[in-house]
Amino acid sequence: MTDEEVLDALALDTAELAELAEWCPLALWRAWHREGVEDFLGTPRKRTSQRAVLRDLGPQYTVVVGGNRSGKTEIGRALLVAHALGSDHPAVVCFCAVNDVDPATIPRGPATVWAYAITASDSIRYHRHDVKRLLPRDGSTHWWALEGKDEARVRIDCPGYTEQAEIVFKSVGIHVEEARQKAQGAKIRLGWHDELQPEEVVDEVGVRTWDLQGRQIFTLTPVKGIGWMRRRFLLATDWTSTRVHHLHTEDNPYLPREVIDRELRGDRRRALIRLHGEDVPAEGLVFPAFARSTHVARPYEIPRAWPRFRAIDFGTRNPFCCLWGALAPSGQLVIYREHYQAEWTLRQHSDAIHQIEGRKRDGVRWVPTETSERIEQTWADPEDAQSMLALRREYDVYAVPADKAIHAGIDAVAERLAPDVEGRPGLVIFDCCPRTIEEFGAYVWATRTYESRDAPDLPRKIGDHAMDALRYLCHGVRRYG
């Protein structure tokens, strides 16, 4: 919002606005929002937005992964204070109006919130003083141990309430069990974790949010990886409780662009981590061109006229993976759905496929409906001929053998990852396919010391089920028709 728009939204004049800013800076804290397409790496992508995070908080978990100086920690601080004061506090009322946030997403009235840093020094440097700058300056705040090496806290008097809001600043350090024990016995509205914290501490904090139906917020740059959060949140299937957002440093309007270009433009991997907050391995990626910011999109309705395809990689104890792709008129292949499941029978997988595609059971058979999807072709791993035959004869899933030429399949995927003359990638994956997205970051070339001296030019055979299906799909579509 511009200053004029803020004045209109709050129905204030300039003098009143200045008085409000002096009283409580949170009231006029403005999240940035960027539109259009632009990429410092030379490919088009959607811009990122602090405001989008505020508008789409998970009921239980909100994960904000971003580059350095992307504004993710500012988001954490602002939400921490807003949840402590409550949505009916005058400063939070203004905060919601300025940022177009639904006040119903923040409970009313004061409450206790916790802010976790890696170390006490980090808490002092990045949390306490910056949070203090957002709080009311009318004498209603009361601090304990602001510079202390142990916990610090601040209590805030709130208009209309005898209870006080409380913000507690904690750190974990190397004493994980001690930190977990210190998280016991309290009721909190929000727990904010800045950077990667131990899972056992997060679990204990989660229990503290139960009584108040609170939430946890995570902000981090995966310089050393994303650890357990990959499994728990980035690969989450329960999107009703979890939201994952990405912020990019070059979208921050308050950072000089020349600083970003000078520091990081020459090193793509470093830029993906430091600017986009992407979790990428150190070396050996099979698909180094893949970037979440370029190749991952929010789901949209696929037109019925677009031809649709499937690809299947069989598994029983290991995951069974089925990917669905649609071919746009532009030639772009959109991976719009995945079924990724271990320890199911072939019947269970086939039933799931039919249900997902909108068919109905008629006795022992599945029959199409007016709204069910029409699949042009399905490619499946030819090494499991028995499963392919069972799919066709017993379960009404018709598949042809995929071309398993590994390098040809890799080439087909790599060609689609590359942008066309207009800068658009030939492959896009919807973010409702978390396993596929995750495997891009773990799909690396085998080394002589890892697998065998006879196959150093093949990918590692670990966690590659979606990548196998994607190879079949891209290679099959390239040769289809």
| For the chain, domain boundaries | 3-274, 294-479
pLDDT value of position 189: 97
How many Å apart are CA 474 and CA 438, to the nearest integer?
Answer: 18
* Tokens 């977990």 found at: 180
* Tokens 């069972």 found at: 390
Burial classification of residue 335, based on how many CB atoms lie within 10 Å of its CB (0-12 exposed, 13-18 middle, 19 or more buried) = buried
pLDDT value of position 340: 93
How many Å apart are CA 204 and CA 426, to the nearest integer?
Answer: 44
Sign of the Cα torsion 56, 61, 67, 73 reads positive
pLDDT value of position 365: 85
pLDDT value of position 304: 93
Is the pTM higher than 0.95? The answer reads no
Give the distance from CA 447 to its chain's centroid.
Answer: 30
The interaxial angle of helices 3-10 and 90-99, nearest 10 deg, is 130
pLDDT value of position 267: 64
Q: Which overall architecture, per CATH, does domain 294-479 show?
A: 2-Layer Sandwich (3.30)
Q: In 3D, which of 283, 317, 195, 256 has the Cα closest to residue 40?
A: 256
pLDDT in tens, the chain (481 residues): 666 666 666 776 677 777 888 899 999 899 998 876 544 444 445 678 999 999 999 999 999 998 888 999 999 999 999 999 999 999 999 999 999 999 999 999 999 999 999 888 999 999 999 999 999 999 999 999 999 888 999 999 999 999 999 999 999 876 777 777 777 778 999 999 999 888 888 999 999 999 999 999 999 988 777 778 877 887 665 668 899 898 988 888 888 777 666 655 556 667 777 777 776 665 678 998 888 878 988 899 999 999 999 999 998 888 999 999 999 999 999 999 999 998 899 999 999 999 999 999 888 788 889 999 999 999 999 888 899 899 988 999 999 999 989 999 999 999 999 988 777 899 999 988 988 988 888 888 887 554 444 455 788 887 789 999 999 999 999 877 5
- What region, left, alpha or beta, does residue 346 occupy, with left being phi > 0 and alpha being psi -120 to 50 degrees? alpha
Specify whether the CB–CB gap between 98 and 7 falls below 8 A: no
Specify whether the CB–CB gap between 322 and 463 falls below 8 A: no
Q: Which CATH class is domain 3-274?
A: alpha beta
How many Å apart are CA 53 and CA 75, to the nearest integer?
Answer: 8
* Tokens 């396993």 found at: 435
Q: In 3D, which of 342, 330, 310, 353 has the Cα closest to residue 427?
A: 330
- Total residues belonging to the chain: 481
Query: Does residue 472 sit in helix, strand or coil?
Result: helix
Name the amino acid, one letter, at 331: G
Q: Do domains 3-274 and 294-479 have the same CATH topology?
A: no
Expressed in percent and rounded to 5, the helix, strand and coil fractions of the chain are 35, 20, 45
End-to-end Cα distance, the chain: 51
pLDDT value of position 451: 45
pLDDT value of position 301: 93
